[in-house]
């Protein structure tokens, strides 16, 4: 009788804190499923429906993060309470690792991790900084929300990795915000693309950067491969975070033997 092949351990239940905005949360689930497929292939796990981890998306209405960072008074405009409630629901559903599908919402990462010590709340900004350092990137341009700029979310983590971070001027930040709110969030993707491309080209020409972080989950929904952006590498933080969530879902078994996450897994070269 042939010995049976040991079955790999079941993946962990994971959660995704979405709703910021809804399209970005839904897109993160797509990226996570693809990251799981890649992870299974790397670990030699047969890919089939039943091999994907149980994952829950909390797609709840959460007040605007940038507005809340501008107005720190307590009240219903603050996102902390609904984020905590949604994370609690994910924990109750059995999630052990949670990803936040919003860049600016990482301003509340510490609060979530403190309130739910039984969970691992992944820090997407730290994951991006580590991935860039791994690939010897020394300088990047940052496309983000006004709140993310003012909170220094990316600037701080990139500085820890000795990576220079170049940001747009105030008027150009306004263009990005228009692309996010009047563009993607309003369903006008043509407007969003125009605004995002314009600021991308300015950063490339002014600072000579060849790598841009799309530091808002709405930006990759409209900004992608295009001849105008030739020579630029666009880093999608959602892809980096989805890959990290997949790694934790399947555990670190054999991870040391795997090649590091490459540009094709976390970036879109244009």
CATH of the domain at 181: 3.40.50.1860
Same-domain check for residues 99 and 140 = no
Same-domain check for residues 165 and 233 = yes
Distance CA 216, CA 229 (A): 18
In 3D space, the residue among 32, 38, 41 whose CA is nearest the CA of residue 13 turns out to be: 32
Same-domain check for residues 219 and 140 = yes
Please check whether residue 92 lies inside any domain of the structure: yes
Residues 6 or more apart in contact with residue 29 via CB below 8 angstroms: 16, 18, 55, 57
Distance CA 227, CA 207 (A): 20
Please check whether residue 3 lies inside any domain of the structure: no
Same-domain check for residues 143 and 115 = no
Reported as a pLDDT band with limits 50, 70 and 90, residue 21 is confident
Same-domain check for residues 55 and 187 = no
Same-domain check for residues 50 and 118 = yes
Residues 6 or more apart in contact with residue 214 via CB below 8 angstroms: 143, 220, 223, 234, 235, 236, 237
**Lookup: tokens for 149:** 């700029």
pTM over 0.85? The answer is yes
**CA torsion, ordered 255, 261, 266, 267, to nearest 10 deg:** -170
Residues 6 or more apart in contact with residue 217 via CB below 8 angstroms: 20, 21, 24, 25, 27, 28, 101, 102, 103, 237, 238
Please check whether residue 6 lies inside any domain of the structure: no
Same-domain check for residues 137 and 81 = no
Matching residue, tokens 């109750």? 92
Please check whether residue 52 lies inside any domain of the structure: yes
Same-domain check for residues 105 and 188 = no
| Number of separate domains in the chain | 2
Poorest-confidence range of 2-16, 122-136, 178-192, 227-241?
2-16
Please check whether residue 2 lies inside any domain of the structure: no
Q: What is the model's pLDDT at position 2?
A: 52
Q: What is the model's pLDDT at position 122?
A: 98
Same-domain check for residues 70 and 170 = no
Residues 6 or more apart in contact with residue 97 via CB below 8 angstroms: 12, 14, 15, 119, 120, 121, 122, 245, 248, 249
Same-domain check for residues 21 and 68 = yes
Same-domain check for residues 88 and 68 = yes
Q: 172 near 202, Cβ under 8 Å?
A: yes
What are the φ and ψ backbone dihedral angles of 112, each rounded to 5 degrees?
-60, -45
Please check whether residue 193 lies inside any domain of the structure: yes
Give residue-wise pLDDT tens across range 33-62.
999 999 999 999 999 999 999 999 999 999
Same-domain check for residues 41 and 71 = yes
Sign of CA dihedral 172, 163, 140, 239: negative
* Residues of the domain holding 130: 126-237
Please check whether residue 264 lies inside any domain of the structure: no
């Amino acid at each position: 009788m042939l010995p049976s092949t040991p079955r790999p351990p079941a993946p962990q239940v994971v959660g995704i804190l979405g709703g910021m905005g809804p399209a970005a949360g839904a897109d993160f689930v797509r990226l996570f499923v693809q990251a799981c497929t890649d992870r299974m292939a790397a670990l030699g796990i047969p890919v089939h429906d039943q091999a994907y981890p149980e994952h829950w998306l909390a797609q709840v209405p959460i007040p605007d993060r940038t507005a809340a960072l501008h107005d720190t008074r307590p009240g219903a405009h603050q996102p902390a309470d609904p984020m905590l409630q949604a994370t609690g629901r994910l924990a109750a559903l059995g999630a052990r690792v949670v990803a936040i599908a919003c860049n600016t919402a990482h301003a509340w990462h510490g609060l979530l991790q403190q309130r739910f010590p039984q969970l691992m709340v992944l820090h997407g900004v730290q994951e991006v900084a580590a991935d860039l350092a791994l690939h010897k990137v020394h300088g990047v341009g940052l496309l983000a929300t006004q709140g993310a700029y003012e909170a220094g979310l990316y600037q701080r983590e990139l500085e820890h990795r000795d990576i220079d971070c170049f940001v747009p001027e105030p008027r150009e930040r306004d263009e990005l915000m228009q692309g996010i709110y009047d563009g993607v969030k309003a369903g006008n993707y043509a407007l969003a693309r125009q605004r995002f491309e314009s600021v991308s080209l300015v950063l490339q020409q002014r600072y000579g950067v060849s790598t841009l972080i799309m530091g808002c989950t709405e930006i990759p929904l409209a900004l992608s491969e295009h001849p105008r952006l030739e020579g630029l590498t666009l880093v999608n933080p959602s892809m980096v975070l989805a890959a990290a969530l997949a790694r934790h879902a399947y555990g670190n078994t054999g991870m040391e033997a795997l090649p590091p996450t490459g540009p094709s897994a976390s970036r879109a070269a244009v």
